[in-house]
Structure 1
């Protein structure tokens, strides 16, 4: 029995993690969960899985869930805020922490979990983007496994199994292209929030959906891949693959390319991460090759989708530049979602912040949190 804590249990990844745990109830026990404001979903999870702890970030949601558990005499302990996240990430009885919260909020509890010796099923991009050097060093120090939950990184992880790292030539990171694939800048001048949220393949949260539309999502994944698999940025290639059947590939020095294919369903990489190194019975619809008409591939348009180009630049610069990029993006996406800036202004804001803020080569957690705050404050202050 593996004891699991899920940070961000009510989001897309968290909900599908619940499905995997539900299907393997004899192998997994849900010890703790967290959510931001979704008290109703947390109550449903408490009723079904009876975790020992639940964390709410929002005060009103915390009060609602705590009252419900008190009235129903449910023994789940209800905690609040970042301290609550840190608590459930370091519980002695927890074996693995699934980090599926969105944003920088996931960094500190993930580091706390690593220091406590917990394996990490990682679905929070910002953890490695903002502090990859620090996180990977801590994981190595504490002999902790960081298992990727992201579809693309989960695919790369599978393609690497059984092969020596020295034989890897290139990582081929696939992208659906998002809702604006093939569009030029002039066609994106009047993009609405609703337009940008309509992803052609995946149902995701609002922030991640906007990142997919700008291709920033893929830029973040490039930086993650660098840290997860210790591959130079020059050897990470993004390929637009609109069918989303090949989830990523690895090219080896002999010219062989190994790909991971499956129907687009996040339950597969979640299941693989939770059960690694074992495979379990299928939780997705299996691929039928007779139904596949074609698989197509395109080069990404780095001029129109500037954030992807900037992510390569930030990663190559190193130090805290990726944290600067990430903070600027979080703030800019929030402004766009609130209809205060246009779609293309997101990329312009990222570039401005990378030019304004100086990268620090060696850093600790406090440096990352400070730069994150300063950049977000700067971006917010520019919009009146």
Structure 2
């Protein structure tokens, strides 16, 4: 699948017309966020509620949940010009080449119509060798889309999936109105950085966003880079979020953090699913095991960085565990798949709406040969497209777990 944005225009701010209308950015203009925080600059979308954030002081989780993967502005307008002021936070890794700025995708009536990035922004300076980080303030930037068709249309601006993004101002050359919720089923998904969209080309081309588009559903993406750890506060967020279809992708973060052993894993999965079922007792619930990741198929974590090619812009990962430690209960992806399959089979005897999908059906051994994981862990843009298409085919289409319920 080629990049659907190859031939569409987009630009960053150059000159501001004087007659644009400013519209307050409120919750009714946003999809995919669980909460909005008012800041001194504007609003900050969150993908975990304040109560959940208060229960974990992990900086990685705080950054991931404030990176608005799947969050988009949605409105109806005749405007031919749309400007969005934002204050992004961009991550800079010392010793490595600069990372590209986050991408904003414009969709008009559901079709790609522009792509741009915001200049300026805050910087988070990370020293990978020591783990230290320093924040440096920066200016607000503006993303501008012009030359849009003048008829009434639905406009979506997908926010960067990999940059913390404060929304400062929305300006257009015609009034905007919110698009009422409804008409399509809501798909609530939770997973790791792969689900958040790590190394995807843009926010609307992460694999969950592509799968949602192909499946004809509205996405709420709780993919959390480094944060798919069976946390109880995440389970409660899933429980309390209205949704028609739910999926949870479990495994890779538990291995690459070396967080728990098999003895803790099994009851933690049961507890996670029990909590979700408290709020969604009969919704289709799909448990997805990890995609293929050769370094951790049979070798436990933790994952460790390989700095040998960092100066060339390539950071790879390696498995730092010992395969012999599996007998002591250390987790590998193979162990996790076997246990997830067993758990779902056990529970499905009393829960007919519970399903299991082996992640290797989305990305397996043959795919690794054709499309290897660049850093040994995360899929690239082309692989996101493949995973999204396969998920839609296996899950949303005829015979899939979500097929009957998405109409």
Tell me, yes or no, whether TM beats 0.5. Answer: no
Q: Which has the higher helix share?
A: 1
> TM-score scaled by structure 2?
0.28
More strand per residue: 2
Larger RCO, structure (CA 8 Å, separation 6 or more): 2
What TM-score comes out, normalization by structure 1 length? 0.29
